[in-house]
Amino acid sequence: MRNIGHFIGGKNVAGTSGRTADVYEPMTGDVQGKVALASRAEMREAVLNARAAQPDWAATNPQRRARVMMKFLELVQRDYDKLAELLAREHGKTVPDAKGDIQRGLEVVEFACGIPHLMKGEYTEGAGPGIDIYSMRQPLGVVAGITPFNFPAMIPMWKFAPAIACGNAFILKPSERDPGVPMRLAELMIEAGLPPGILNVVNGDKEAVDAILDDPDIRAVGFVGSSPIAQYIYERSAATGKRAQCFGGAKNHAIIMPDADMDQTVDALIGAGYGSAGERCMAISVAVPVGKTTADRLMEKLIPRVESLKIGPSTDPSADFGPLVTAAALERVKGYVETGIKEGATLAVDGRGFKMQGYEKGFYMGGCLFDNVTRDMKIYKEEIFGPVLSVVRAKDYNEALALPSDHDYGNGVAIFTRDGDAARDFAAKVEVGMVGINVPIPVPIAYYTFGGWKKSGFGDLNQHGPDSIRFYTKTKTVTSRWPSGVKDGAEFVIPTMN
């Protein structure tokens, strides 16, 4: 039985609150460890460590900060297989999927290695008579990230890599469901040469979250999770004068035009809808075929593919997906399926009865597929976060365009078509933050920005890419004039460039 504490001041420390949570192994259903849940006092200790260490780190030149990131990349690659196995055992996703989780995080670390260029300001010589103006980016100080269970490697790295590269100290509050990988990443950052106190990992629940939001020394908060909590964190951060970027739920649509390559489309829907047991904020959970003929062709090909999905333990490299993260998550998803049936949707494939031989206590569920879902149903309105795909039939292109545009969520959307004009029109008009054209999971690469609209995102700046540098820095602008160019006598009007 593992006991997981916190990582504060460059070392692992035991929890002192007396409160813990179980860490499960989803593929067996067994408890594999206990994680400490921090008190406000423990969070404050981490913040004080970060505050003390941050000025020297900020004074370290950007090239040296980048070298720490480069060494961290090397160390994660060294431990890649071990990290992926640990992630899979705590989360439930397959080992190949866990490796993808790590890799997408590393790509943002690679982006952060360019911090000497990314931190550059601007300079104008001779902006006025004898006047030069320049700007510079400076770190905020102590910042924090609150990250979800579904990407325990990727999203922490999305948060702490640019923040630390910019010269900030970082407090990470990962999900208490799978804390092992975030703790290990912090250890590797120290091994890479990061000074103690610059990256602290504090495990916990709402008490730890509220301690972050109320702490006067934390200047910015990044969050990924459900929309109600995203809105809560955004509003409470704003009330205490903190910057906040908070990303919530999703209901990602895939529009299938009549001219789409149906075999490629079905392949895309299977991977995007059922990969990682649907526990992705960018998962496709709604397929929208345009026209009856398209819908019938889609269902004809989808049903046997969903029925043949291979569910297995996280360690099975041939499995399409593994178990859900907890027993509670499994029951919640099954509850949504039951609701869909009661609402009148057609359950074309029912995976609720799936049992994994030899792993009967694991949190497994087969793929489910609904047809004839309508926009007034709960299973359409709400994020299910499980291996459930809903088919909503649209009469024409305009109806299909309206579905994701009118939905409360606006994270990602995809269109499958061979018509460039239709794709261009769709990308321009759809009211969603990230768009894929024949790409089912339109997660931008690391040097572009990631973020949804409407209830999927709260805040003005997004994750990774240039927005991350803007979010974790403040701009200072200096207007300079030297005595040789100064006129005698007081001036009583506002300075201008005349």
* Per-run averaged pLDDT (10 residues), the chain, 498 residues: 95 96 96 97 97 98 97 98 97 96 97 95 90 95 97 97 98 97 98 98 97 97 95 95 95 98 96 95 96 98 97 94 96 98 98 93 97 98 97 98 97 96 97 95 90 91 92 95 71 71
Q: Name the catalytic one among 113, 246, 281, 368.
A: 281
Question: Going by DSSP bridges, is the β-strand pair 368-371/346-349 parallel, antiparallel, or unpaired?
Answer: antiparallel
Contact 272, 440 (CB under 8 A): yes
281 is catalytic: yes
pLDDT in tens, 368-400: 999 999 999 999 999 999 999 999 999 999 999
Q: What are phi and psi of 45, to 5 degrees?
A: -60, -45
pLDDT at residue number 485: 56
Phi-psi region of 391 (alpha: psi -120 to 50; beta: other; left: phi over 0): beta
pLDDT at residue number 482: 87
Which residue spans of the chain are classified as CATH 3.40.605.10?
Answer: 2-248+456-478
Which residue spans of the chain are classified as CATH 3.40.309.10?
Answer: 252-437
CATH of region 252-437: 3.40.309.10
Residue 310 is encoded by which pair of tokens?
């291979």
pLDDT at residue number 326: 95
In the chain, the amino acid numbered 453 is W
Number of residues assigned to the chain? 498
pLDDT at residue number 387: 97
Residues 6+ apart with CB under 8 A from 136: 121, 475, 476, 478
One of 3.40.50.620, 3.40.605.10, 3.40.50.2000, 2.130.10.10 is the CATH number of 2-248+456-478, namely 3.40.605.10
pLDDT in tens, 324-374: 999 999 999 999 999 999 999 999 999 999 999 999 999 999 999 999 999
pLDDT at residue number 497: 62
